């Protein structure tokens, strides 16, 4: 198995893990914990489990108020997920493959919610007093955000992607070097 195939397999495994973990946690929130009827479960002073229905995308943009808008949003996010999947499949750098797989797994988790419920189930509420640095979010949102941050960091901080592939930079060879070695 060549390294590209190995990276793709690792990416598919990580995307699957992110998707499955997201769905398990959402099941726990809606099933055993009954968060939708309890509203809030206080965990620690700066983190609560708080039930929220997100009918839009990131930070409730593009809110879908009707069935037509809901299915248009499912289609739009589905197209984006397919594009991320194709990008992940074509990517040759392990770090980028793994970052894209987090984005893909998270996107699929939220798409399944939108299809199943008509909205995305959010529950994680990080706050410091009244200050909330984020809207209420879920594991899928965290995977998407972390994947995007890794991609951005790699794009800005890695000056030469060839070094990530483990390629060797060779010094230029002059004609004098060739004559001298023969």
Cβ atoms 51, 35 nearer than 8 A: yes
Is 122 in the active site?
A: yes
Dist. CA 46–CA 131, nearest whole Å: 10
Element (H, E) at 13: helix 3-30
Dist. CA 75–CA 69, nearest whole Å: 10
What is the chain's Cα-based Rg?
22
| Catalytic-labelled residue, pool 141, 160, 164, 177 | 141
| Catalytic-labelled residue, pool 22, 96, 113, 122 | 122
Is 141 in the active site?
A: yes
Cβ atoms 108, 79 nearer than 8 A: no
Element (H, E) at 131: none
H helix intervals, 31-174: 35-38, 67-90, 94-117, 139-157
The pairing of strands 40-44 and 47-54 is antiparallel
Question: Active-site residue numbers?
Answer: 122, 141
């Amino acid at each position: 198995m060549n390294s590209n195939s190995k990276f793709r397999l690792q990416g598919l495994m990580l995307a699957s893990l992110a998707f499955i973990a997201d769905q398990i946690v959402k099941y726990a929130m809606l099933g055993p914990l009954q968060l939708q009827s309890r509203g809030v479960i206080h965990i620690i002073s700066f983190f609560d489990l708080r039930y929220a229905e997100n009918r839009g995308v990131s930070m409730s943009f593009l809110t879908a108020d009707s069935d037509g808008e809901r299915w248009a949003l499912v289609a739009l996010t589905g197209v984006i997920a397919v594009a991320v999947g194709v990008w992940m499949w074509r990517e040759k750098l392990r770090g980028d493959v793994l970052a894209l797989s987090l984005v893909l797994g998270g996107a699929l988790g939220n798409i399944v919610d939108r299809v199943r419920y008509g909205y995305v189930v959010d529950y994680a509420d990080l706050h410091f007093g009244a200050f909330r640095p984020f809207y209420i979010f879920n594991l899928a949102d965290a995977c998407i955000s972390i994947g995007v941050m890794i991609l951005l960091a790699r794009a800005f901080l890695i000056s030469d992607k060839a070094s990530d592939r483990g390629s060797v930079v060779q010094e230029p060879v002059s004609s004098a070097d060739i004559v001298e070695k023969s």
